[in-house]
Amino acid sequence: PLCAQRSYWEVEWRGRGSSMGVAYGALSRKGADARSGLGYNAQSWTLELSDTCCSAMHDNEKRDIPVTYSPRVGIYVDLSAGTLAFYSVADNMMHLHTFRANFTQPLYATFGVGSGVGVGLDFALGQFSSSMDSIKLCPL
């Protein structure tokens, strides 16, 4: 789990799409339904990205975010403030979205790769990934 009260990390992604965020450890990681899809349940918060769209997802609620392509994303969690914020990281940082929640369990960083961002659960379950898709943590 994330060990600090406040955590920040950056992720670089490429390919047809990626997702990143946080989830409770109790999130089911098996199955092909909303119980295990990142952002499709109350146990996970995620940002889905492709070269054409960006969406924030939590508890099966999707919010489209108007943004240009961003291959590097910063993720900031403040447990005491109850915030999870996403930023586009380039020459200047640009705020993408902030979730506000009362986090009641330890949080874990989550990542997913594949195409079909914004088209449904298949992306979240990684059913369309290829060898061209990748995601990596960046040194700070």
Domain range annotation of the chain: 6-138
1, 78, 65, 49: CA torsion to nearest 10: -30
Closest CA to 65 of 98, 110, 91: 98
**Predicted pLDDT of residue 118:** 39
pLDDT digits (tens, 9 = 90+) for 38-93: 888 898 999 998 878 889 999 999 999 987 777 889 999 999 999 999 999 988 89
pLDDT at 30: 63
pLDDT by residue (tens digit) across 84-124? 999 999 888 999 999 999 999 999 998 887 644 433 333 34
Residue 131 has pLDDT above 90, yes or no: no
Report the pLDDT value the prediction gives residue 127, as an integer from 0 to 100.
Answer: 44
Alpha carbons 105 and 43: distance in angstroms, whole number: 9
- Distance (Å, whole) CA 102 – CA 49: 25
More confident call, 128 vs 52? 52
Higher local confidence (pLDDT), 15 or 106: 106
pLDDT at position 117: 41
Higher per-residue confidence, 102 vs 33: 102
6-138 folds as Jelly Rolls (2.60.120)
Q: What is the mean pLDDT of residues 7-23?
A: 86
Which string of DSSP letters, residue by residue, matches 70-82? Answer: -SEEEEEEETTTT
Q: What is the pLDDT of residues 20-32, one digit of tens each?
A: 999 988 776 666 5
As a whole number of angstroms, the distance between CA 20 and CA 31 comes to 19
C-alpha Rg value of the chain to the nearest Å = 14
Residue 115 contacts residue 123 (beta carbons within 8 Å): yes
Counting Cα atoms < 13 Å in the Cβ hemisphere of 30 gives 0
